[in-house]
Amino acid sequence: MRRNMKLPNGFGCIKKLKGNRRKPYAAFPSTKIEDEKLNIRPTRAIGYYDSWFSAYNALCAFNRNRLYGISPAPTFSDIYHAFYRAKFEESKKKLSHRSRIDYSSAFKNVPELHDMVFSAVRKSHMQRALDECTLGYSSLSNIKKLYSQMYKYAMENDIVEKNYAQYVNINQENDIEKGEPFTQEELNKLWLYKDNPDARVVLMMIYSGFRITAYETLEVNLEEQYFKGGIKTRSGKNRIVPFHHAIIPFAEEFDPREFSGDGFRKRRFYPLLKHLNMQYTNSGKKHTPHDCRHTFSWLCDRYRVDDLSKHMLMGHSLGNDVERSVYGHRTIDELRTEINKIQAGILPLKQ
């Protein structure tokens, strides 16, 4: 692409201004623009840039946004409606009616953000809106998902450069986190299959106890052999869980930067369980990744990990137990001793 290339009719123009300027390239919209919603006079530049290419990209974004009816300073509401049209009205993908309702409800549940200029929205604004919402965990999860999808749309269309949604957390216990632990027979199947990379990740999850999304941002300290991380609650965040001795090789090869909770769940976890013929629990329910956390809790009880250590390893709140919440402490070595009480590997079914 050359600086003096001819731009399409109606696209706008780029002019290099005279003088010694830090940003000498001005991008002007087309004189044919008559869209009152944009509130821009044709002779007014949309911005000034340090290179012709930057000005060209700005014109591309301006014209793309004009096509979707987005103003130069779109509000949160503007971005939501543009995102909604692109996802549900213009996309060729078949999306469920339930999905439409979830996004629509999530938008309605954060009215304090609607009139804010989207580029001025920060993590603190979204976090406050989420924290002040009195609905259940499922609704909060939908709001957080909406944030992420809107920022993805905005970044794809050069409306913002930074995704503040990635820093928003749900500061409420998951009221839908039900599940059943894997049985010893199922654990034996996984250990028999331990050379499979997907089985190794599942075993690592079972013997460390984090929620699946926490593995996306875990700190893996190979020198001192522990995980640090966690999500959701004050007790759960940034907790330390020593490597169980049986999963050290799995932890050493695990890279959180390459891990996606949703991707692993859909493309690796469920196909693995189907291959091992262990998709369902004894009660007939479908196993989920959260059952790994339930299994860790069950193993702690089965092998008599002391109660305080279990709470600390799983990131559970100590509730009204003031004495333990204030004076209860465990060193990493003490936690390591407790977690290694858990027997791992192929074990007899009656033990």
Domain of 327, CATH number, reads 1.10.443
Both structure tokens of 155? 């970044």
Residues 228 and 268 in one domain: yes
Q: Is 249 found in the same domain as 293?
A: yes
Domain extent, residue 219, equals 184-339
Same domain assignment for residues 204 and 118: no
- Least confident among 36-40, 190-194, 218-222, 346-350: 36-40
Q: What is the pLDDT of residue 66?
A: 65
Q: Are residues 135 and 110 in the same domain?
A: yes
pTM, two decimals, is 0.52
Residues 157 and 26 in one domain: no
Q: Taking all residues of the chain, what is their mean pLDDT, rounded to a whole number?
A: 84
Asked whether the CA dihedral 67, 79, 266, 280 is positive or negative, the reply is negative
Tell me, yes or no, whether 250 lies in a domain. Answer: yes
- The domain tally of the chain equals 3
142 and 23 within one domain: no
Question: Does a structural domain hold residue 104?
Answer: yes
pLDDT in tens, 130-186: 988 887 777 888 999 999 999 999 888 878 888 999 999 887 655 455 789 999 999
- Mean pLDDT, rounded, for 71-92: 83
Q: Are residues 87 and 109 in the same domain?
A: yes
Question: Considering the domain boundaries, does residue 18 fall inside one?
Answer: yes
The pair of structure tokens assigned to 163 is 């995704």
Q: Which residues make Cβ contacts (< 8 Å) with residue 136, sequence separation at least 6?
A: 175, 176
Q: Is residue 279 part of a domain?
A: yes
Provide the pLDDT confidence category of residue 350 given band limits of 50, 70 and 90: low
351 lies in some domain: no
The C-alpha torsion from 165 through 166 and 172 to 177, rounded to 10°, is 120
Least confident of 124-133, 176-185, 213-222, 301-310: 176-185
